[in-house]
C-alpha cells in the first residue's frame, strides 16, 4: 500500500529557531516526486518545496530545506529562522511519476512562539 506517515502530530518552535518535521513514505516505485505543502488557517494549501526522487541533491527554497534519504524512504523538512507566518499545518506528500495524484500524510501542526 502507498502510505505517508508523519509521526509528529504537533510541533512547536521559538521564533528565529530551527525546526525539523519528519516524514516517511512507502512506495515500490523508483520514479516519484516528494512534496511538503503548508496549510495556514486560511485553508489554502501552498507548495513549500518539491524533490524529485532521482535527484540525490536535497532541495532548498530559501529558509526551507529537505533531508531526502531514498533508501530509508525518509523526507524531512527543516525550517530555519522560523517566523510567525510559518505557523500552519504541514503535509508531506508524494506522487508517482506521470500523475498528479498526491498521497498525503495526516499532517503536522507547527506552532511558532514569539
Interface with another protein (CB under 8 A), residue from 47, 61, 84, 113: 47
Contact 78, 19 (CB under 8 A): yes
Cross-strand pairs, 62: none
Residues 4 and 106: their CA atoms lie apart, in Å, by 8
- Shortest distance in whole angstroms from residue 43 CB to another protein: 5
Backbone phi, then psi, for 3, in 5-degree steps? -140, 160
Interface with another protein, residue 35, by CB under 8 A: yes
Closest CA to 77 of 90, 62, 95: 90
Interface with another protein, residue 33, by CB under 8 A: yes
Interface with another protein, residue 73, by CB under 8 A: no
Interface with another protein (CB under 8 A), residue from 59, 95, 110, 112: 95
Q: Which is nearer to another protein, 35 or 68 (CB)?
A: 35
Q: Which is nearer to another protein, 47 or 111 (CB)?
A: 47
Backbone phi, then psi, for 86, in 5-degree steps? -80, -10
Interface with another protein (CB under 8 A), residue from 59, 91, 110, 112: 91
Amino acid at each position: 500500500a502507498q502510505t505517508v506517515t508523519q509521526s509528529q502530530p504537533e510541533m512547536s518552535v521559538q521564533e528565529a529557531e530551527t525546526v525539523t518535521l519528519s516524514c516517511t513514505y512507502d512506495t515500490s516505485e523508483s520514479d516519484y516526486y516528494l512534496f511538503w505543502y503548508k496549510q495556514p488557517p486560511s485553508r489554502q494549501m501552498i507548495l513549500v518545496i518539491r524533490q524529485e526522487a532521482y535527484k540525490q541533491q536535497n532541495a532548498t527554497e530559501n529558509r526551507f530545506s529537505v533531508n531526502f534519504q531514498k533508501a530509508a524512504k525518509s523526507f524531512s523538512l527543516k525550517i530555519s529562522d522560523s517566523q510567525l507566518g510559518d505557523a500552519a499545518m504541514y503535509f508531506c506528500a508524494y506522487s508517482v511519476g506521470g500523475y498528479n495524484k498526491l498521497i498525503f500524510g495526516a499532517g503536522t501542526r507547527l506552532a511558532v512562539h514569539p
